[in-house]
Every structure is written in C-alpha cells, then in structure tokens.
C-alpha cells in the first residue's frame, strides 16, 4: 500500500501580524513548516509528500527547507490557489496517482504524532475517510447576526476537527472533482467527502496538535517543542 500527504502551506497568516508568512516563522531555529515536513518525512507510514506553497515561495522552499534539511520524500512543491480548497486540489493533481491513501495536513500544524498518522491510515483503509480531532472542552454557543445566543449544543457531541484529514485516494479525488464541478467551496476536506455521501470517522488525537496562527500560539508551540525535545 502506498500513502501520500499533501501539506498545505500557501497561506499569508494575516492573524500573525508578521511580515513573514506564519509557516516560515522560526521556532527555536527552524521554520514551522520545516518541523511539519520532518514529521512526515521521518514517518515509516508515509511514502510521498507534496508541498503546496505560494507561487513566489516555491524556489525558496525547495532550496531553503527541502534541500537544506534533506527531506527525501518530497516529490513536488506546487503553487496554491486563492482558497485552501484550490490549493488542496492542486496538491491532489500533483500527488502520485498510485497512492492508495492520501492525508491532507496544515503546514502550520507541526506537532502531530506518528501514532495518529498510523491510526488515520488504518481507519481510512477501513471506512474511506476520517479526520483527527479532540473533544471540545468549552461549552459552545450558537449566536445570530446580532450576537444573541440562539442555542447551546450538547457538548458531548462536539469535536474540534484538526488535521491530518485522511482518505482513500479514490474517495477524496471524487469529492474534489464533484465540488469543483458544482462550484462548492467547503470549509474543510471532510465536508467535501460528506456531501458525496461518505461517512467520515473521527479519530481522537490530542490537544498538542495545535495550528499555529496567532502570536500566542508561537509561545505555546515553543513549550510543546521543549517537551518533545526532552
């Protein structure tokens, strides 16, 4: 069985308030994207990696991250689109067509553990589609356009979806082709699979698998990195 991962790192990171895109900000001397790629490059469960970056960043990523750190599983660095969905679609077009399972992962989520990668692959093989996530800790409120609370969902049924999101190749390829044909823009990859009738399984991960999007996340990321190094 062959597995591939699409790492999406084409965002601008406006919430970070930084002149440097968030995926290229350094944590303890290495770019966040470098840590993310390393996780999958070292994983025995991953065969191919496709990186999706801004078009103007391709050469820099190839030279200053992929070659610099010797990431041997990266088969392509391709340009992203105006929306994340278009970026992922470009990644799907670049990944090896003989991949049985494809994971889709955020470039600024560097702390996913190898054991979860394996669980996702196993679950996708059995059910076709799955996503890593964690139970919601806080009570969630649904509000209207005037910020008036209209409902309070039962917390025990709520999960915060993370990445990787993982699929059999034929499942996610069909989902993306259908969405592009129908001009549907989904909030995540699982949503596109769901609209084709696929039942997506939730795989429980952990709370360290954060997405680094704000300055506060950088501090938390450094603490998690110190824990891993210990």
| pLDDT tens-digit readout, 15-58 | 666 667 889 999 989 999 999 999 999 999 999 999 999 999 99
Whose tokens are 């603490």? That residue is 223
Nearest-angstrom CA–CA distance, 102 and 96? 10
Tell me the per-residue pLDDT of 134-158, one tens digit each, with 9 for 90 and over.
Answer: 999 999 999 999 999 999 999 999 9
Per-residue pLDDT, 229: 62
Whole-number pLDDT of residue 17: 60
**DSSP state string for 61-127:** HIIIIIIHHT-TTEEEEEE--SSHHHHHHHHHHHS-TT-SEEEEEETT-TT--HHHHHHHHHHHHHH
The token pair at 157 is 């049924």
Are residues 85 and 185 in contact, defined by beta-carbon separation less than 8 angstroms? Answer: yes
Q: Which residues in the chain land under pLDDT 70?
A: 13-19, 229-230
pLDDT of residue 40: 98
Helix, strand counts (H, E) of the chain: 8, 11
Report the sign of the C-alpha dihedral through residues 45, 49, 54, 59, in that order: positive
pLDDT at 21: 84
CATH code reported for the domain at 3-218: 3.90.550.10
For residue 13, the model assigns a pLDDT of: 60
3-state SS class at 60: helix
Q: What is the DSSP letter of 179?
A: H
Residue-level pLDDT at 18: 66
Evaluate whether 79 touches 94 at the Cβ level (below 8 Å).
no
Query: For residue 227, what pLDDT is reported?
Result: 79
């Amino acid at each position: 069985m062959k597995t591939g991962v699409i790492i999406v790192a084409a965002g601008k990171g406006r919430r970070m308030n930084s002149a440097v895109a968030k995926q290229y900000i350094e944590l303890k001397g290495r770019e966040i994207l470098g840590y993310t790629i390393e996780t999958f490059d070292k994983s025995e469960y991953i065969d191919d990696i496709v990186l999706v970056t801004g078009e103007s960043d391709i050469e820099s990523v190839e030279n200053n991250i992929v070659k610099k750190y010797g990431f041997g599983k990266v088969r392509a660095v391709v340009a992203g689109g105006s929306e994340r969905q278009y970026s992922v679609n470009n990644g799907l077009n670049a990944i090896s067509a003989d991949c049985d399972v494809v994971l889709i992962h955020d470039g600024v989520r560097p702390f996913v553990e190898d054991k979860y990668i394996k669980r996702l692959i196993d679950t996708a093989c059995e059910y076709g589609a799955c996503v890593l996530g964690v139970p919601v800790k806080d009570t969630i409120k649904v509000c209207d356009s005037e910020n008036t609370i209209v409902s309070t969902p039962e917390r025990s049924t709520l999960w915060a979806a993370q990445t990787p999101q993982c699929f059999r190749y034929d499942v996610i390829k069909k989902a993306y082709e259908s969405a592009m044909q129908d001009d549907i823009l989904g909030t995540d990859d699982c949503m596109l699979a769901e609209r084709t009738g696929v039942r997506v399984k939730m795989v429980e991960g952990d709370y360290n698998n954060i997405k680094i999007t704000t300055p506060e996340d950088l501090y938390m990321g450094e603490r998690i990195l110190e824990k891993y190094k210990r």
